[in-house]
């Protein structure tokens, strides 16, 4: 992630600088009403950076508040969303305070802290700190170790485990319980609970969500999909890479180790991260916060709120910077624009992917406009002239020549959604229409195109339009 890394002393300042007028709020666990009040204060104090909303109501009718935070400066990439939610399980009090701390640091640091300013100018944060307000108030006032929501189940028992109620692989196996008395009771059906419907609808309404964290406690772990199976996720390498980076940043702050190398904790079906990733294509994590063990377990002392938030904040910035790189077209996040990236984009367009980072143009569709955007970004990064790569340039060397023809020729008449394999019109086939694209640009170089009066992107766009590249695919 070197493209967005800042010097270590700026990173340290980002997370340890004072919180003007708000530090005392994190000295103790707060009531549901105090959460609402503080979010309202943020919105009133930072009206240009925030949007306060209610995403839905709990079973007992309590509002589930959310705050959207983004910067006002110019963006380098089409803005994508980092989605954070906390305290889905009522007794995990620290899991609500941490997203509040993150909101606080983003707002108080914007405009003065270079890293925070860059992140907010290029991403949006959607933060839902109190996912289970009924359960939390019951835990706070009646039963400290209450986990579920407060829906009566009709048999004398109360509550559904919200993190077993999501629709992806709901009720698939022993990773959730069909028995209402159990702590992992999954409910009567997927998304049977108003709380999970509200959390789901945030992602459905914002198709620019690229990354997500569901905060829980305890164990000090960073868990990635899947929970319902031990089989690895298709993007396992990237998920682990991002988790590793976050874990390193956490440890750098106060020395706390968050395990990340094994994404599987125990079998759990119907979880938030499985739905986010499996249904919506979002890179999603469960982060189990302090402590490591049952002593003190859920009873984490209040003096641990601030250090827990401090160590988590740089990890969240890491994830936001990964989001920026993904949104910029570096889809394997290795600081290079290469065939693997554009081939991933082409496959996404042809196969109708729902991954938000592929929508480079930011118009909510996957099509040739995103190819144009990628070729322009890659050219600026890779070519001395900073021109755009041309249609027909299969090997991305800046020239459309015989090497590119040979690549097309070796794959002609095959089903191959690969730019570097010759699929220049992004239809999933390497055929005569792709040859026509190559032929239209043969023996031209990006350097020669950039010299003409008309901007290179306009010529590139005209060429792709003529080639019929614009398959409009909503994702």
- Asked whether the CA dihedral 362, 472, 274, 269 is positive or negative, the reply is positive
pLDDT tens-digit series, residues 48-71: 999 999 999 999 999 999 999 999
- Find the helix or strand (DSSP H, E) in which 42 lies: helix 32-45
DSSP state, residue 285: E
pLDDT at residue 459 is higher than 70: no
- Please tell me the least confidently modeled range out of 113-127, 238-252, 309-323, 444-458: 444-458
At 5, is the pLDDT very low, low, confident or very high (cuts 50, 70, 90)? very low
The mean predicted confidence, pLDDT, of the chain is: 92
pLDDT for position 250: 98
Name the CATH architecture for the domain at 339-474: Orthogonal Bundle (1.10)
Structure tokens at 137: 């108030």
The CA radius of gyration of the chain, in Å to the nearest whole number, is: 24
Question: Which CATH number is 2-327 given?
Answer: 3.40.630.10
Is the torsion defined by CA of 69, 75, 79, 85 positive or negative?
A: negative
- Residues 306 and 253 sit within 8 Å (Cβ to Cβ): no
Between 177-181, 290-294, 297-301, 447-451, the lowest mean confidence (pLDDT) is in: 447-451
- Residues acting as catalytic residues: 288
Rounded distance between C-alpha atoms, residue 348 and residue 346, angstroms: 5
Question: Are the CB atoms for 278 and 169 separated by under 8 Å?
Answer: yes
| Residue indicated by tokens 């108080």 | 108
pTM of the model: 0.93
Evaluated on CA atoms 207, 457, 331, 4, the torsion sign reads negative
Burial code (b: 16+ CB inside 10 Å, e: under 16) for 191-208 equals: bebbbbbbbbebbeeebb
C-alpha dist (Å) from residue 190 to 64, 195, 271, 364: 20, 12, 10, 27
Residues 6+ apart with CB under 8 A from 163: 88, 89, 214, 216, 268, 270, 271, 272
Is the pLDDT confidence value at 417 over 50?
Answer: yes
pLDDT at 127 over 90: yes
Instruction: Evaluate whether 322 touches 285 at the Cβ level (below 8 Å).
Output: no
pLDDT score of 18: 44
- The CA distance from 210 to 323, in Å, is 6
- In three-state secondary structure terms, 57 is strand
Cα separation, 469 vs 109, whole angstroms: 43
Least confident of 75-79, 217-221, 469-473: 469-473
Beta-bridged to residue 259, according to DSSP, are 221
**Nearest-angstrom CA–CA distance, 128 and 197:** 13
What distance, in Å, lies between the first and last C-alpha atoms of the chain? 27
pLDDT at 16: 52
Contact present, 342 and 378 (Cβ < 8 Å):
yes
pLDDT band at 462 (very low <50, low <70, confident <90, very high): low
Task: Sort residue 387 into left (φ over 0), alpha (ψ -120 to 50) or beta.
Answer: beta
Q: Per-residue pLDDT tens for 330-341?
A: 999 999 999 999
- With beta carbons less than 8 A apart as the criterion, state whether 83 and 211 touch: yes
Confidence band, pLDDT 50/70/90 cuts, at residue 454? very low
- The DSSP result for 419-437, as a single string, is GGGT-TT-SSEESHHHHHH
Residues 18-37 have pLDDT tens digits of 444 467 999 999 999 999 99
Round to whole Å and give the CA distance between 90 and 95.
9
DSSP 72-128: -SPPSS--EEEEEEE-SSTT-THHHHHHHHHHHHHHHHTTTSHHHHHHHHHEEEEEE
Q: Write down the pLDDT at residue 449.
A: 72
The band of 475, judged by pLDDT with boundaries at 50, 70 and 90, is confident
Residues in the chain: 475
Instruction: Copy the structure tokens of residue 233.
Output: 């996720």
Alpha-helical segments (H) within 154-212? 194-205
Tokens matching residue 369: 């406009």
Examine the pLDDT at 3 and tell me if it is beyond 70: no
Average pLDDT over residues 144-157: 98
All structural domains of the chain with their residue ranges: 2-327, 339-474
Torsion of CA 369, 374, 376, 382, to 10 degrees: -170
């Amino acid at each position: 992630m070197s493209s967005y890394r800042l010097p270590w002393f700026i990173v340290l300042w980002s997370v340890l600088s004072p919180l003007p007028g708000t530090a005392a709020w994190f000295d103790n666990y707060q009531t549901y009403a105090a959460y609402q009040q503080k979010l309202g204060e943020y919105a009133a104090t930072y009206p240009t950076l925030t949007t306060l909303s209610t995403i839905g109501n709990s079973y007992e009718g309590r509002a589930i508040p959310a705050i959207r935070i983004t910067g006002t400066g110019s963006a380098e990439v089409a803005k994508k969303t980092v989605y954070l939610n906390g305290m889905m399980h009522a007794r995990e009090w620290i899991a609500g305070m941490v997203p509040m701390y993150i909101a606080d640091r983003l707002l108080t640091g914007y405009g003065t802290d270079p890293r925070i300013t860059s992140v907010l100018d290029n991403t949006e944060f959607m933060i839902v700190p109190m996912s289970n307000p009924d359960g939390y108030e019951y835990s706070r006032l009646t039963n400290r170790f209450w986990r579920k929501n407060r829906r009566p189940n009709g048999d004398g028992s109360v509550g559904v485990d919200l993190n077993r109620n999501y629709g992806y692989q709901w009720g698939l196996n022993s990773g959730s319980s069909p028995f209402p008395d159990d702590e992992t009771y999954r409910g009567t059906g997927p998304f049977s609970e108003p709380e999970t419907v509200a959390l789901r609808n945030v992602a459905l309404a914002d198709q620019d969500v690229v990354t997500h964290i569901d905060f829980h406690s305890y164990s000090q772990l960073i868990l990635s999909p899947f929970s319902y199976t031990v089989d690895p996720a298709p993007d396992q390498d990237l998920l682990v890479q991002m988790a590793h980076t976050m874990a390193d940043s956490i440890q750098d702050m106060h020395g706390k180790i968050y395990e990340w190398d094994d994404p599987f904790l125990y079998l759990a079906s119907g979880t938030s991260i499985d739905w986010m990733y499996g249904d919506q294509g979002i890179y999603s994590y469960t982060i189990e916060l302090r402590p490591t063990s049952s002593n003190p377990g859920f009873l984490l002392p209040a003096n641990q709120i601030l250090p827990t938030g401090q160590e988590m904040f740089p990890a969240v910035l890491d994830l936001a910077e990964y989001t920026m790189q993904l949104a910029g077209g570096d889809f394997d996040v290795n600081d290079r624009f290469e065939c693997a990236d554009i081939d991933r984009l082409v496959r996404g367009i042809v196969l109708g992917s729902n991954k938000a980072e592929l929508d480079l143009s930011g118009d909510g569709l996957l099509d040739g406009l995103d190819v144009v955007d990628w070729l322009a970004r890659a050219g600026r990064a890779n070519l001395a002239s900073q021109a755009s790569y041309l249609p027909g340039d299969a090997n991305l060397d800046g020239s459309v020549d015989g090497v590119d023809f040979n690549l097309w020729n070796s794959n002609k008449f095959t089903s191959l959604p690969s730019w570097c394999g010759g699929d220049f019109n992004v239809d999933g086939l390497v055929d005569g229409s792709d040859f026509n694209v190559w032929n239209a640009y043969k023996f031209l170089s990006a350097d020669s195109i950039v010299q003409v009066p008309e901007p290179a992107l306009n010529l590139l766009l005209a060429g792709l339009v003529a080639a019929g590249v614009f398959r409009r695919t909503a994702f």
